[in-house]
């Protein structure tokens, strides 16, 4: 990436991160700033037992001190677990949804084949009926018997070919009817199996949906119990943890040898993902107004002309793995040991991703979460 583009990306990262942090619930980075006179800005916490500042309203209660960092760290760890579990359940929901769609499409195809097979079988039965009626009109004697009883030599000669052709036609008719009946049984068995799988995946989808909602609701209740200053401090702790993780990752020198340039499709995928910045995370969503993590990456690559699996776990399983040192813009970075999160590498150590409920599609450091590996859709 050239110097100009790198500067633009850095500026975009700064602006997007600032907007995202300030706009997202519970992630405001409003730090207390001293006034020119040295006193805290209005609304700053006073220590327990401290006297009111000159000019303060008589009888006004001082703001409660925020809880110790260690308590908020526990809250942050708990929120991370809840949202991680919600991400795992979201992946299960998306997988069940994808399987349900495929099975429904398969059942539709089988239904059409069964209908066509039944129509074909009816036509074959009509042909067999016509043959039976023709035999009846000749006195009930089959063509072979009529041929053998003929006294006319010419008729005998002509009849030989007729009988042979008739036998062939009859055998063909019987064969077609047998194959059609067998196909109908196979289609029916396949459709029944697909219906059973469909029901299993519908139940899995419903169970995953329930788990997602439960985890997110618990996380939201936990955040709602926090005071404004606690939320602000929690956001600061999150930012500090992310910065520490990114710095540690960069200090390994992992980017020193990363010089890969985006492919044409990779560039298109990054452009698509960039255009989604600021759109909300919604679990199970794949655009155009909202996304979950794998919904964003799968749609970005579909827009680039390369369809990929819907879920982060299947993206990890099915796409070609590449070394982190070899990654290039457009590659997908898979996170956590269970491959429950995915982001798109944008270059210069940055990713574009849909983080979690309550957040928006944003730019972040690629090393802010534990990396499982990197995959390349257009390998």
Active-site positions read: 293, 341, 353
List beta partners, residue 343: 333
- Residue 261, classed as helix, strand or coil, is coil
Instruction: Give the orientation angle of helix 69-137 with respect to helix 153-224, to 10 degrees.
Output: 160
Q: How far apart are CA 31 and CA 229, in angstroms?
A: 10
Q: What are phi and psi of 92, to 5 degrees?
A: -65, -40
Backbone Cα Rg of the chain: 35
Report the alpha-carbon angle 143-148-150, nearest 5: 95
Among candidates 30, 20, 21, which has minimal Cα distance to 66? 30
CB 156: neighbour CB atoms within 10 A? 13
Phi, psi (degrees; rounded to nearest 5) at 170: -65, -45
> How far is it, in rounded angstroms, from Cα 129 to Cα 105?
36
End-to-end CA distance of the chain: give it in Å, rounded.
Answer: 20
């Amino acid at each position: 990436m050239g110097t100009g583009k790198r500067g633009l990306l850095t500026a975009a990262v700064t602006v997007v991160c600032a907007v995202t942090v300030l706009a997202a619930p519970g992630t405001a980075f409003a730090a207390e700033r001293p006034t020119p006179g040295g006193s805290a800005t209005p609304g700053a916490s006073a220590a327990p037992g401290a006297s009111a500042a000159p000019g303060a309203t008589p009888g006004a209660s001082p703001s409660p001190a925020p809880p110790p960092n260690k308590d908020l760290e526990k809250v942050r760890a708990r929120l991370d677990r809840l949202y991680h579990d919600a991400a795992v359940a979201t992946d299960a929901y998306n997988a069940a949804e994808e399987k349900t769609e495929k099975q429904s499409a398969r059942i539709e195809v089988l239904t059409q084949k069964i209908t066509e097979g039944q129509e074909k079988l009816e036509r074959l039965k009509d042909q067999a009926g016509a043959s039976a009626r023709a035999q009846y009109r000749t006195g009930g004697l089959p063509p072979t018997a009529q041929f053998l009883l003929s006294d006319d030599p010419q008729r005998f000669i002509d009849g030989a070919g007729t009988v042979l052709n008739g036998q062939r036609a009859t055998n063909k008719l019987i064969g077609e009817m047998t194959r059609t009946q067998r196909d109908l049984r196979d289609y029916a068995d396949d459709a029944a199996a697909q219906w059973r799988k469909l029901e299993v995946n519908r139940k899995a989808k419903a169970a995953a949906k329930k788990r997602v909602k439960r985890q997110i609701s618990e996380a939201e209740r936990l955040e709602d119990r926090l005071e404004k200053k606690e939320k602000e401090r929690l956001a600061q702790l999150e930012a500090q943890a992310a910065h520490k993780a990114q710095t540690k990752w960069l200090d390994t020198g992992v980017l020193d040898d990363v010089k890969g340039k985006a492919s044409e499709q990779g560039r298109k995928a990054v452009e698509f993902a960039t255009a989604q910045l600021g759109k909300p995370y919604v679990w199970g969503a794949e655009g155009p107004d909202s996304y979950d993590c794998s919904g964003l990456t799968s749609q970005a690559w579909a827009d680039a002309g390369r369809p990929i699996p819907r879920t982060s776990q299947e993206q990890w399983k099915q796409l070609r793995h590449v070394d982190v040192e070899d990654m290039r813009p457009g590659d997908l970075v898979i996170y956590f040991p269970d491959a429950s999160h995915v982001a798109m590498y944008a270059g210069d150590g940055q990713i574009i991703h849909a983080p979690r409920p309550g957040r928006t599609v944003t730019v972040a450091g690629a090393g802010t979460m534990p990396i499982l590996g990197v995959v390349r859709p257009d390998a």
